Homo-oligomer: A and B are copies of this chain.
Amino acid sequence: MTTTAHGTAALLSIGDELTLGQTLDTNSKWIASALADLGIVTVEHVTVPDDLEAHAGTLRRLASKVDLIVSTGGLGPTADDLTRQALAEAVGEALVEDPVSMAQVRAWFTGRGREMPAINAVQALRPASAVALQNLHGTAPGLMASIGSCEVFCLPGPPGEARPMWSSCVVPRLRPPPGRTVRTRVLHTFGIGESDLATRLGGLMARDRSPLLGTTASGGVVSCRLRYEGPLSREEADALMETAAREVRARAGEFVFGEGDVTLPDAVLGLAQAAGQTVGVVESCTGGMLGQMLTDPAGASTVFMGGLVTYSNGMKTALAGVEAAILAEGGPGAVSEEAAAAMARGGLARLGVDHCLAVTGIAGPGGGSAGKPVGTVWIALASRGRDVDARRFRMSGARGAVRDWACKAALAMLRQRLAGVGPVKLLRQEHP
């Protein structure tokens, strides 16, 4: 094993299903993020097919360029799993059976009352000088080897197996460079467009500034990414980052809902929890997505009590008490200020919560009209002792994007109320 520091890293994902677009690679994101937190900079992600030559060739190319390679995939038991062979070829060694791995693979099956299928035996193979990494959540052991001065860690593809192996077997063996500090911070906004945010940030985004500030838009969330890389101590770098983060908040604070891993639901739940208040939902076009988002964080149960999914008009009346006249021919209809407000008020009363969000809209692709085109969404927020806050939005994009953005806009409305800012007009809000 080499002993140089791991200054730069490359990630390699393996599989025809990835290169051909049948499966989404989610491993590279969290591995790169974890490396950055340790001060190791990922300079390239590569995905190659289940092809021995391409796989081994890419390992060799990356090994000549970076100090560390982390690969995922290709360790399964089937004939298209070629990571063991590719690593052996890149290292220049033959494959040997690892007796400990063999015992572990076998034990994984016997512990579940099953016999090991014969094909799983190949999972115990490793290049002669490589070290096997134990997998406690599946049958595929990982591998660690050196190609020249570059260290390579090979993890299984399923995130449920790769993540625990990462924590227990890889992190303890990493050697971040001692003389360099890397710090990143991300502030998340919702409700402002990327150009408008960049205009507000102005000179803070100059490419010669330190920390470097960039923006990224993803599903309506526009994030401000701060990044320091240089000789300062961690404490000095953190102080510099803090000053920059304060500048960002000073210029766009009313739209900033959180930092780092904090999501919009986290922000809303945190504020409601601090205030000792409860939340419920009444959903039509989102079909349960808003409730799902609000229960995504652990511990949601102190705030989120429940909800009504009133997908059909009949359910809007039966479950939420929306007056039939609102929904009847000639009335304002299911996608209207009246319907949204009635859903929110009905939910507030029937769920017995402090705040109730209601969403009704036309997610598409069908169902639009001249007066109410696809993407039209009414969102209402009813809170005890307060006027209902009802807003009309015009979302763009496909069905999934309309639903996702609608849920986030609803959460942003509740966040404004809980945080005591606003009502601030949100991007895509048309009325009032």
Contact = CB atoms under 8 A, between A and B. Distances in A.
A24 to B, nearest CB: 5
A33 B22 contact: yes
A274 interface: no
Interface in A293-337: 294-296, 298-301, 304-312, 314-315, 318-319
A299 B366 contact: yes
A47 B194 CA distance: 22
Contacts of A397: 137, 160
B198 A117 contact: yes
A215 B54 CA distance: 20
A289 interface: yes
B20 A227 contact: yes
A23 interface: yes
A388 to B, nearest CB: 21
A295 B404 CA distance: 12
A212 to B, nearest CB: 8
Contacts of A214: 16-17, 50, 78, 80
B215 A78 contact: yes
Nearest to A289: B292
B49 A46 contact: no
Contacts of A351: 315
Contacts of A319: 306, 308
Interface string A175-208: 0000000001010000000111011000001110
A287 B298 contact: no
Interface string A38-53: 0001111111111000
A424 interface: no
Interface stretch (A216-224, A232-240, A244-252, A408-416): A216-224
B288 A295 contact: yes
Contact of A23 (B22, B29, B299): B29
B25 A25 contact: yes
Contacts of A23: 29, 216, 218, 223
Contacts of A400: 296
Contacts of A25: 25, 28-29, 45
Given A36-B21, A207-B80, A288-B295, A311 B301 contact: yes
A315 B306 contact: yes
B21 A32 contact: yes
Given A20-B227, A21-B30, A119-B198, 8 more contacts: A20-B33, A21-B34, A23-B216, A23-B218, A80-B205, A160-B398, A299-B366, A305-B315
